[in-house]
A and B are shown apart, each in its own frame.
Chain A
């Protein structure tokens, strides 16, 4: 086991445990904090897999912006009611069917593809190469995504209008 694979297993354990704590914790704030740990581990994993640019973006956008947005909304609306949980034991057959089908499909994909279990060679893509690739090959997609973000901004603004403005504009709901 080389140093890199040791790092990978350590990060995999951290990410998995943090995610498991996220989906089981009752307190929403704790869930978000555990998810931040999981996303920071994912950022380190991206760096290990040769994507330093994506590692930085993961830490900034996911662990920074999105999680702060979640925290803000959790603190904005009072969540004090007892939450019911759907038990998966009632749908045991369905759960086993879904997980079994997906695992068998992934295994089929891996074994049909020679070289899936060979160790990956470490590589590194510099942010300069990544940016040049993005803006040469996928420039149209970058424009579409920026337009999507604009639409999301307008949609969020539209949904969060205050009631008094609604009355002022005469909008009926």
Chain B
């Protein structure tokens, strides 16, 4: 006997809000990417809890795909950050206000 699905979903919603606040308030591109990771992880917790709640393996399968998508997103995102840092010299999101930077 574990806790109810409502409590698992509550934890996932809390983590999702933390990620959203991180994305909305921090201006560092790496912190924004970390916020996206936190949100993806929170949705994974909700999926695994749902898989246990409805006794179905589909939820766990989706978490596997979610991990692959997160890995691809981080690879491309960090490459973009390195590219932007090389061309502008900063990773502060507010500093990108020039065209042909």
Contact = CB atoms under 8 A, between A and B. Distances in A.
Interface string B52-74: 11010110110111011111111
A120 interface: yes
A9 B3 CA distance: 9
Contacts of A169: none
Contacts, number: 224
Contact of B18 (A23, A88, A145, A156): A23
Contacts of B34: 22-23, 31-32, 35, 70
A42 B30 CA distance: 21
Interface size of A as a range? 35 or more
A4 B57 CA distance: 21
Contact of A119 (B1, B37, B72): B1
Main secondary structure on A side of the interface with B? helix
A76 B3 CA distance: 43
Given A5-B2, A16-B14, A119-B4, A42 B44 contact: yes
B5 A120 contact: yes
A8 B2 contact: yes
A54 B64 contact: yes
Of all A-B residue pairs in the complex, the 5 with the closest CB atoms, nearest first, are A152-B72, A23-B22, A156-B79, A159-B79, A145-B68
